[in-house]
């Protein structure tokens, strides 16, 4: 049986040691930006890692920092391991059941391991056909920029999950930017990219580069959408050729 495609946004960056307080400030900025995008993203609920019910999000830095601290990664012996970061999740619905309008934002950050990455993501529910109203270009473009800029990410990509079947590897590893609906390259890497003429291209005020295959909802089976996605992926070859995480250092 064919599973319904989810729509996902994945932001990534290299080793960066950050405290729960620092991550809380970024998280609160992200939530504010998402809430401003569309009424469908106005209300959020936090996932409590002590197995309590998820509760309404409150933009209080001390409260958010406490939740992030509770999500510290742990060693095999169960001891807190802040060197490897923290985890926090939020949803647009309070119920655990799947919903066509349910979005999840997940953060794993503060990791200073030089062989690992940090990541933030936004996704629709797994194996659930998303409401067309929530997978629009304007919503996903705004979310891509919010994730990229709030976390100073090296790159971000938005894509339907069935597009991953077309992904390929380079030098035995996944590309940082592979086929996607929307791709974002941080200002520190954007100068290496020559955007294709077929793509929608936007340079942000800080120099970040956003490229999109279409301003419609991306459909993997649409040859026109897939063709521009391939053009963008090809243009990102200089970025993908960098060591991964690309050009990042712990600090």
- What is the H or E stretch that residue 10 is in? strand 7-13
Give residue 250's pLDDT: 37
> pLDDT digits over 183-238, tens only?
999 999 999 999 999 999 999 999 999 999 999 999 999 999 999 999 999 999 99
Split into its structural domains, the chain has a count of 1
Between the CA atoms of 206, 153, 25 and 88, what dihedral angle is there, to the nearest 10 degrees?
A: 160
Q: Assess contact for 155 and 12: CB atoms under 8 A.
A: yes
Locate tokens 């994945």: which residue? Answer: 10
Query: CB within 8 A of 82, min separation 6: which ones?
Result: 72, 73, 110
Task: Report the C-alpha gap between 74 and 84 in whole angstroms.
Answer: 8
The first and second tokens of residue 4, run together, are 């319904």
CA dihedral for 27, 29, 31, 34, sign (positive or negative): negative
In a domain, 14, yes or no: yes
Quick one: pLDDT at residue 104? 94
Residues present in the chain in total: 251
Q: Is residue 251 part of a domain?
A: no
Residue 1 in any domain: the answer is no
CA angle 101, 103, 105 (to 5 degrees): 170
Domain extent, residue 76, equals: 7-240
- Cα(173)–Cα(47) distance, rounded to whole angstroms? 32
In a domain, 249, yes or no: no
Q: How many CA atoms lie within 13 A of 66 on its CB side?
A: 9
Q: Is residue 97 part of a domain?
A: yes
189 within domain boundaries? yes
Asked if residue 246 belongs to a domain, the reply is no
Give the residue, 171 or 73, on which the prediction is more confident: 73
Contacts of 117 (CB under 8 A, 6+ apart): 12, 13, 14, 15, 111, 244, 245
Has residue 2 been placed in a domain?
no
Per-residue confidence (pLDDT) for residue 50, from 0 to 100: 54
- Helices 20-37, 61-70: axis angle to 10 degrees equals 110
The whole-number pLDDT of residue 126 equals 86
């Amino acid at each position: 049986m064919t599973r319904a495609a989810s729509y996902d946004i994945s932001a990534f960056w290299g080793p960066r040691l950050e405290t729960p307080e620092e991550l809380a400030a970024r998280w609160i900025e992200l939530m504010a930006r998402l809430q401003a995008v569309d009424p469908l993203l106005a209300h959020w609920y936090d996932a409590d890692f002590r197995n309590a019910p998820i509760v309404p999000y409150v933009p209080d830095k001390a409260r958010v920092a406490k939740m992030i601290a509770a999500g510290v990664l742990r060693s095999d012996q169960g001891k807190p391991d802040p060197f490897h970061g923290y985890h926090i999740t939020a949803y647009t619905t309070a119920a655990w059941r799947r919903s066509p309008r349910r979005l999840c934002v997940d953060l794993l950050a503060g990791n200073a391991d030089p062989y690992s990455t940090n990541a933030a993501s936004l996704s629709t529910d797994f194996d659930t056909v998303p409401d067309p109203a929530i997978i629009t270009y304007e919503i996903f473009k705004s979310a891509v920029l919010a994730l990229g800029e709030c976390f100073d990410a090296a790159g971000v990509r938005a894509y339907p999950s069935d597009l991953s079947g077309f992904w390929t590897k380079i030098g035995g590893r996944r590309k940082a930017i592979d086929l996607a609906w929307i791709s974002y390259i941080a200002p520190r890497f954007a100068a290496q990219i020559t955007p294709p003429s077929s793509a929608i291209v936007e340079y942000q005020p800080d120099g970040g580069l956003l490229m999109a295959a279409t301003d419609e909802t991306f459909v993997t089976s649409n040859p026109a959408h897939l063709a521009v996605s391939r053009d963008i992926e090809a243009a990102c070859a200089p970025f993908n050729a960098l060591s991964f995480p690309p050009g990042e250092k712990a600090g």
